Amino acid sequence: MAIRRMRLALSLLCVLMTIGTGTASDEPALLALKAGLSGSSSSALASWNTSASFCGWEGVTCSHRWPTRVAALDLPSSNLTGTLPPAVGNLTFLRRLNLSSNQLHGEIPPAVGRLRRLLVLDMDHNSISGVIPANLSSCISLTILRIQSNPQLGGRIPPELGNTLPRLKKLQLRKNSLTGKIPASLANLSSLQHLSLSYNKLEGLIPPGLGDIAGLRYLFLNANNLSGELPLSLYNLSSLMMLQVGNNMLHGSIPSDIGRMLPGIQVFGLDVNRFTGVIPHSLSNLSTLTDLYLSDNKFTGFVPPNLGRLQYLQYLYLVGNQLEADNTKGWEFPLHCQTAASCKNLSSLTTLSVGSCQGQLGTCQRRYKCSI
């Protein structure tokens, strides 16, 4: 009896070791996935049948180390319809799941949270509904989480995402219907380089802790219902290249010494908010600036003439403020460039929107489009 129990225990251990070492097959999970994803107009899954090895099926890449386990599933723009079944959670060796630009509907199954090896999850441009599962935070290896352009996807951003994803570099959730506040816990994403939450229904304050993410390069929070002041900590992000917070309800002023901050900034967008004060002269020290969006606020005073030093500036929007200007003062930076040298400084400028174009354009007339 004891020997029989020992043999049974050894057999169970062998089964568990087989599963743990990756020699189990992912074919049943893929066939279950096919049943949920099949669509009448899609031919992408035609090769998914048992007449050939599943490692040769379209979109499937198997692991080199564990040949019977799926490492990547790439089916973007494949006319897939249906829902993502819970069976996807059985692909436990999966490192990349890309189902973007399809016609998937229904909710993201919580079973995705079982994919602890997953590096990339891309569900862009579908018709996903429901909420973002909180247990995506269990995908502790994630470096890219991209769930964008799913208008029916609502609910809050799970705060848990900020606590357990130390490798996350890109969190892209734009163009959904997310509500609530931006979780303060996102400041814990120490590897984050790209944060895009624009075109949602987020409200409340921008967490000051986002300014502590040293490697953050792209921050897009525009087109929400955010309020309060832009945290001063964001101006200390020396790696920041693009900052877009337009179309919110933010207020405050631009720091007078902004020219000593944001050394690599290329796009700086504060448009359609409630910012006040003057446009600082030190903006001209942001030598890498290509896009400056300050329109539809309550800025006052004259436009700093030394903005003409921004040789890479292509888009300048100032319309809809309370700026002062006449034929002799206010638009010197592009309009009064009477020498070839001063025109050369603005040779990249293609679009200028100031709301009023008084005076003579002079020799710079053909260098940009002036929008009134």
Which pLDDT band holds residue 39 (cuts at 50, 70, 90)?
low
Report which of residues 148 and 326 the model is more confident about: 148
Under a CB-based contact definition with an 8 Å cutoff, are residues 294 and 270 in contact? yes
Tally: H helices and E strands in the chain: 4, 26
Average pLDDT, the chain: 86
SS (H, E, C) 312-372: CCCEEECCCCEEECCCCCCCHHHHCCCCHHHHHHCCCCCEEECCCCCCCCHHHHHHCEEEC
User: pLDDT-derived band of residue 156, with 50, 70 and 90 as boundaries?
Assistant: very high
User: Is 139 a member of any domain?
Assistant: no
The answer to whether 241 touches 265, Cβ cutoff 8 Å, is: yes
**Does the residue 93 lie in any domain?**
yes
In tens, the pLDDT along 227-266 reads 999 999 999 999 999 999 999 999 999 999 999 999 999 9
Do the domain assignments include residue 327? no
Average pLDDT over residues 131-155: 98
CATH no. for residue 43?
A: 3.80.10.10
Does some domain include residue 364? no
Mean pLDDT of 87-96: 97
* Whole-number pLDDT of residue 341: 41
The SS3 assignment for 219 reads strand
For residue 342, being part of any structural domain is answered with no
pLDDT of residue 368: 42
Mean pLDDT of 182-191: 98
Percentage of the chain modeled with pLDDT above 70: 80
8 Å CB contact between 22 and 63: yes
Where in the sequence is the domain holding 59, given as residue range(s)? 22-128
Q: Return the pLDDT at 305.
A: 86
DSSP conformation class of 93: T
Residue 336 exposed, middle or buried by CB count within 10 Å (0-12, 13-18, 19+): buried
Q: Give the CA dihedral 98, 103, 106, 111, nearest 10 degrees.
A: -20
Percent helix, strand and coil across the chain, each rounded to 5?
Answer: 25, 25, 50
| Span of 20-24, 105-109, 269-273, 280-284 with lowest mean pLDDT | 20-24
* Residue 363 scores a pLDDT above 60: no
- Please state the pTM of the whole predicted model: 0.87
Say if CB 295 and CB 316 are below 8 A apart.
no
Query: How far apart (Å, rounded) are the C-alpha atoms in residues 110 and 132?
Result: 9
- Whole-angstrom distance, CA of residue 141 vs CA of residue 340: 55
The answer, yes or no, to whether residue 338 has pLDDT greater than 50, is: no
Do 253 and 275 contact (CB within 8 A), yes or no?
yes
Q: Above 50 in pLDDT, residue 35?
A: yes
How far apart (Å, rounded) are the C-alpha atoms in residues 165 and 152?
A: 25
Whole-angstrom distance, CA of residue 240 vs CA of residue 304: 23
187 vs 184: CA distance, rounded Å: 6
Q: Say what the pLDDT of residue 308 is.
A: 81
Q: Which range is least confidently modeled, 184-198, 207-221, 240-254, 335-349?
A: 335-349
Say if 180 falls within a structural domain: no
Q: Is residue 355 part of a domain?
A: no
Query: Predicted confidence band at 43 (pLDDT cuts at 50, 70, 90)?
Result: confident
pLDDT of residue 11 exceeding 60: no
pLDDT band at residue 31, thresholds of 50, 70 and 90?
A: very high
Give the total number of structural domains in the chain: 1
- pLDDT value at residue 38: 73
The percentage of the chain sitting over the pLDDT mark of 90, rounded to a whole number, equals 73
Give the ranges where the chain is alpha helix by DSSP (H).
Answer: 2-20, 27-37, 332-335, 340-345
Is the pLDDT assigned to residue 350 strictly greater than 90? Answer: no
Using pLDDT thresholds of 50, 70 and 90, give the confidence band for residue 331: low
Residue 56 lies in a domain: yes
164-179 pLDDT, tens digit each:
999 999 999 999 999 9
Return the higher-pLDDT residue of 10 and 128: 128
